[in-house]
Amino acid sequence: MFRSRWIFVAVPVLLLFLHLGAVAQSVAVQPTPAILSVQLEKTLATVSPTLYGLMTEEINYSYDGGLYAELVRNRAIKDADWMPGGWTLVQNRSAAASMELERETGPSADLERSLRLKVMKASAEDPAGVQNDGFWGIPVRGTTTYKASFYAKADHAAVGPITVSLVNDDTGEVLAAATSEPLTSEWKQYSLELKTGSISTSTANHMRLTIARPGSVWFSLVSLFPPTYHDRANGNRVDLMEKLAAMNPKFLRFPGGNYLEGDHISERFNWKKTVGPLVNRPTHHSPWGYNSSDGMGLLEFLTWCEDLKMQPVLAVYAGYSLQQEHIDPGPALAPYVQDALDEIEYITGGPETKWGAARAQNGHPKPFPLQYVEIGNEDAFDQSHTYDARFAQFYDAIRKHYPQLQIIGTTGVKSRTPDLIDEHYYRFQDDFYNDAHHYDNYDRKGPKIFVGEWATMEAAPTPNFGGALADAAWMTGLERNSDIVALASYAPLLTNVNPSGSQWRTNLIGYNALSSYGSPSYYAQVIFGNHLGSEVVASKLEGAGARFYHSVTFDREKGMLFVKLVNASPDAQAIDLVLSRPVKKTAELVTLRAKTKEATNTIDSPEAIVPVTSTIDSAGSTFRHVVPPYSIQVLTLSVLE
């Protein structure tokens, strides 16, 4: 039963202003309260259980220098063709040495290069060697064990062992050190543990590999790992994984984005070259201007899903690369289709299958669940216009072998009907405010929608509060329509904030070598992802000022009603909630707000804007609530029987 607007005319204006006093004394208020009526008996749509997830790729040093916890830059000496970039010589006092990129020798056919250190003069007091400065510094913490490893060979056995040390840039203090066995003239991997004592945390450090005698040494795959999330070998950075976990994401779309396609066919994400021992991963050039170590390979994407209880949304390379290279549909494309089938088998196959057995051998006998496979990325940009036929070839093969999979197209096709279409929206605030009802009247007979990349592009390197408001406005539309919007993911997810660390203007989470922060948009994602019912129930908002958005979802089993309110205006908005069922008087209120749209979080001020949880004690089947200016709020109401 709804109460109509006139009932509230009698509410004393004074009371309203008393209420607003708690918001801010100088706040202007929309002249009339709005009415939000909610009919809990009327379910309009089932909320997709996979609505909110993550989209990721190697951009902005997302993995190398980001989530992937490796601390050594250019560890495989493959980042540049003319020099061992990221490495410098150590030759103090009387020591004398030189170094060069060696193209002809390396520890494997895939890592065929190395860094050659030639030491003319060195001693135990004055060792010579090489140093690596990491990705804008090497973060070192106290009382921590680091795992170092490297491949090396020497021109003669008398060269002796290698000492690996972590050294502070400013003081020269050795923070931790360990020494290997003596080298031999054959390539061999050496592993060491470096333990720090009671030191203060900093990023102004480097790693050194030194010898105490003259001779030549070749190095490759030099690695240093701090403790990782869930203690996974070759794993991920703890702070970033915790931030992602807090979003409560339901899926991970990988490996791209443009990173899937590569600039050239030879630079695509060739999954078979990203699995198995690191020494057998050749690395590859990414379209975002730097080399990828491929330490974050197919299996690492999958264990990342496992760690955060997300389902994989696998994008398979579909024969189109960014510099307008494509593979003609037909026999030429067949090996690429087979690669995709093999990839699906690697993920889902039992150990009796060829690729399932390979996965087991790589350390994960248990198959992973898989529901969604995407064919390509943004193929509307392919000027050869072959996507329809390429899609059909992939679609038919995948359908035949894996009829249970949902197949996602990246643009419209005529020859087949994809289960979902991936739509991308990079926009400014006003575009999202004006289009928050985009899906309200969408064709419900066609494929479902995967909003696989979207973001309000306001501010750099991470969005400001204006961005968060527009994001939240847009998300209310995604939720209201999550009968057709099955999945949605903000992009890009991660950015290194160091100079030249970012290749995209606006990104969700920022970090340097040591610490990370969530942008206001990140917190909007956190509160939306953690307050979502299973049904969209009927709701009607009347009389709200401009730029006010809402969505209402209900978890009938738990009796919890989630009312999301987005006020992107500088005026407070009073709302009279009129619910068709009684609710408990006490309700939870989560608020994310800022004084201005320009306000933001940064690496130095990471928590200027964070959600605040409070309680309201005056909820009921009708009650007044005032939404502060520039705010995103979620009311969680407990519905009574």
Give the containing element (helix H, strand E) for 613.
strand 612-616
Strand segments (E) across 272-333: 284-285, 291-292, 311-316, 320-321, 325-326
3-state secondary structure 149-194: EEEEEECCHHHCCCEEEEEECCCCCEEEEEECCCCCCCCEEEEEEE
Task: State the Cα–Cα distance between residues 122 and 119, nearest whole angstrom.
Answer: 7
Q: 332 CB contacts (<8 Å, ≥6 apart)?
A: none
Q: Hey, what are 315's tokens? A: 């994008």
Binding site for ligand AHR (CB under 6 A): 57, 59, 256-258, 377-378, 453, 491-492, 504
Least Cβ distance, residue 289 to ligand AHR (angstroms): 13
Q: State which H helix or E strand residue 522 sits in.
A: helix 520-529
| Contacts with 579 (C-beta within 8 Å, 6 or more apart), sequence order | 37, 38, 40, 561, 621, 622, 637, 639
**Least distance from C-beta 375 to ligand AHR, angstroms?**
14
- Residue 575 contacts residue 566 (beta carbons within 8 Å): no
Give Cα separations from 307 to 56, 229, 310, 336, 589 (angstroms). Answer: 16, 9, 8, 30, 29
Q: How far is the CB of 59 from ligand AHR (least distance, A)?
A: 6
Q: How far is the CB of 522 from ligand AHR (least distance, A)?
A: 16
* Alpha helices (H) along 316-451: 334-348, 354-361, 387-401, 429-434
Q: What are phi and psi of 484, to 5 degrees?
A: -105, -30
Residue 471 CB, shortest distance to ligand AHR, in Å, is 15
- Residue 129 or 262: which CB sits closer to ligand AHR? 262
The least distance separating ligand AHR from the CB of residue 58, rounded to whole angstroms, comes to: 10
34 vs 67, which CB is nearer to ligand AHR? 67
Q: How far is the CB of 261 from ligand AHR (least distance, A)?
A: 8
- Name the residue number minimizing CB distance to ligand AHR: 257
Q: Give whichever of 224 and 315 is closer to ligand AHR, judged by the CB atom.
A: 315
CB of 303 to ligand AHR, least distance (A): 23
Which residue, 269 or 368, is less far from ligand AHR as judged by CB? 269
Whichever of 145 and 323 has its CB closer to ligand AHR, that residue is 323
412-442 as b/e, with b when 16 or more CB fall inside 10 Å?
Answer: ebeebebbbbbbbbebebeebbeebebbeee
* Least separation in angstroms between CB 378 and ligand AHR: 5
Measured from the CB atom, the residue of 442 and 504 that comes closer to ligand AHR is: 504
Nearer to ligand AHR, 376 or 628 (CB): 376
For the beta sheet containing 145-154, the strands, ordered from the edge strand earlier in sequence to the opposite edge, are 96-102, 114-121, 215-225, 145-154, 188-195
Which lies closer to ligand AHR via its Cβ, residue 498 or residue 506?
506
Dist CA 41 CA 108 (whole Å): 65
Q: Which is nearer to ligand AHR, 447 or 492 (CB)?
A: 492
Q: Which residue carries 């006490």 as its tokens? A: 586
